[in-house]
Amino acid sequence: MTTPPVEAADALAARVEELERERERLLAVIEILQEISGTLHFVDILASIARRVGETFGLDRASIILSDKGGRTARLVASYEDPTIRNLVIDLARYPEIQRAMETGETVFVADATKDPTLQHVKGALERRKARSITVVPIKYRGAAIGCIFLRSLKDGHPFSDSDVRFCQVVAELTAKALRNAHRYEALVKRTRETTEEMHRADVRRLALVSFLQRLLTAFTESDRASLEQLLSETSAGELDRLTGVAMTVLGEEAKGT
């Protein structure tokens, strides 16, 4: 049976639209990789990812949330709709969809947030915002959820498809890797700073010791220089001068690391 021309045209148009959206998602992944590769500061990384995801889907809300110890609270550290938010504590009891994604490590998708029974306590707010679906994708490290990407679409926006959810899961994996690299970098910077400070303190201690010994010897020799020099023969004095020269040469070479 031949497919009617109208149906074939509609199917072709739908396929072209899906391919275009797939292209946009691939471009978004490339742009995210480019942006996060330009910095190792986790705050900038998360803000960049939240903004890019929000722009890609035209969302009402796109936030990145990191878990706190204990599992009762979490911190909203990046927000597409309000970039000034950086460390807002949230009570997970008020966000069951986020809590479920954190606890199970699985993506949570709510097709119609206003009709979900677990979200009735915020139904009015969701209706005022004209919210549609909610997607919560966990950010995992070594198999455990350390945070999540929270996405909320608008009623007049394009409905989330399975490929959209898979795209968000890819972004969550990139986020986890970027956070791991940023953590390693900041730990390295901290260790380097601590080492530098310890070396500076050691230099100060050595300087203080040398200064003390120098002043002590100066004070001691000045008190009875004439009598002390009479006790040393010319040969002994010369040998001491030679040994002093050798010692200073060795110390100079050690200071240069040779």
Question: Bigger pLDDT: 71 or 78?
Answer: 78
Q: Assign 89 a pLDDT band (cuts: 50, 70, 90).
A: very high
Q: Is residue 3 part of a domain?
A: no
Question: Bigger pLDDT: 57 or 32?
Answer: 57
Whole-number Å distance between alpha carbons of 116 and 127: 12
Q: Do 147 and 241 reside in the same domain of the chain?
A: no
User: For residue 92, which of 76, 78, 111 has the smallest C-alpha distance?
Assistant: 76
Burial (CB < 10 A; 0-12, 13-18, 19+), residue 150, is: buried
Task: Specify the residue for token string 């939240």.
Answer: 50
What are the distances in angstroms from CA 104 to CA 123, 151, 232? 24, 18, 85
Give the number of other Cβ atoms within 10 Å of residue 133's Cβ. 21
Pick the last residue of a domain from 153, 182, 211. 182
* pLDDT for 123 beyond 80: yes
Pick the last residue of a domain from 121, 148, 182. 182
Average pLDDT over residues 194-219: 74
Q: Do 236 and 161 reside in the same domain of the chain?
A: no
* pLDDT for 13 beyond 90: no
Q: What pLDDT score does 85 carry?
A: 86
Q: What pLDDT score does 232 carry?
A: 56
Q: Do 49 and 172 reside in the same domain of the chain?
A: yes
Q: Do 83 and 152 reside in the same domain of the chain?
A: yes
User: For residue 125, which of 87, 100, 152, 148 has the smallest C-alpha distance?
Assistant: 152
Average pLDDT over residues 139-148: 87
* pLDDT for 107 beyond 80: yes
Q: Do 29 and 150 reside in the same domain of the chain?
A: yes
Average pLDDT over residues 12-34: 71
Whole-number Å distance between alpha carbons of 147 and 182: 15
Q: Do 120 and 178 reside in the same domain of the chain?
A: yes
Q: Is residue 224 part of a domain?
A: yes
Q: What is the CATH number of the domain that holds 121?
A: 3.30.450.40
Q: Do 63 and 99 reside in the same domain of the chain?
A: yes
Q: Is residue 198 part of a domain?
A: yes
Q: What pLDDT score does 222 carry?
A: 62
* pLDDT for 162 beyond 90: no
Q: What pLDDT score does 99 carry?
A: 92
Task: Work out the percent of the chain whose per-residue pLDDT is above 90.
Answer: 15
Contacting residues for 84 by C-beta, under 8 A, at least 6 apart: none
Q: What's the token pair of residue 209?
A: 């010791």
Q: Do 175 and 49 reside in the same domain of the chain?
A: yes
User: For residue 66, which of 57, 49, 54, 125 has the smallest C-alpha distance?
Assistant: 49
Question: Bigger pLDDT: 226 or 132?
Answer: 132
Q: Do 77 and 205 reside in the same domain of the chain?
A: no
Q: What pLDDT score does 91 carry?
A: 92
The amino acid that residue 247 corresponds to is A
**Structural domain count, the chain:** 2
Question: Bigger pLDDT: 254 or 58?
Answer: 58
Average pLDDT over residues 21-42: 70
Strands (E), the chain: 61-67, 73-79, 88-91, 108-110, 131-141, 144-154
8 A C-beta contact, residue 157 and residue 183? no
Question: Bigger pLDDT: 105 or 35?
Answer: 105
* pLDDT for 258 beyond 60: no
Q: Is residue 1 part of a domain?
A: no
Q: How confident is the prediction for the chain on average, in pLDDT?
A: 79
Task: Work out the percent of the chain whose per-residue pLDDT is above 70.
Answer: 76
Q: Assign 138 a pLDDT band (cuts: 50, 70, 90).
A: very high
Q: Which domain holds residue 214?
A: 190-256
Q: Is residue 241 part of a domain?
A: yes
Q: Do 25 and 73 reside in the same domain of the chain?
A: yes
Q: What pLDDT score does 205 carry?
A: 77
User: For residue 100, which of 87, 120, 117, 118 has the smallest C-alpha distance?
Assistant: 118
pLDDT in tens, 165-185: 888 888 888 888 887 776 675
Q: What pLDDT score does 118 carry?
A: 86
DSSP state of 82: -
Q: Do 123 and 46 reside in the same domain of the chain?
A: yes
Q: Do 169 and 139 reside in the same domain of the chain?
A: yes
Q: What pLDDT score does 237 carry?
A: 61
Whole-prediction pTM: 0.63
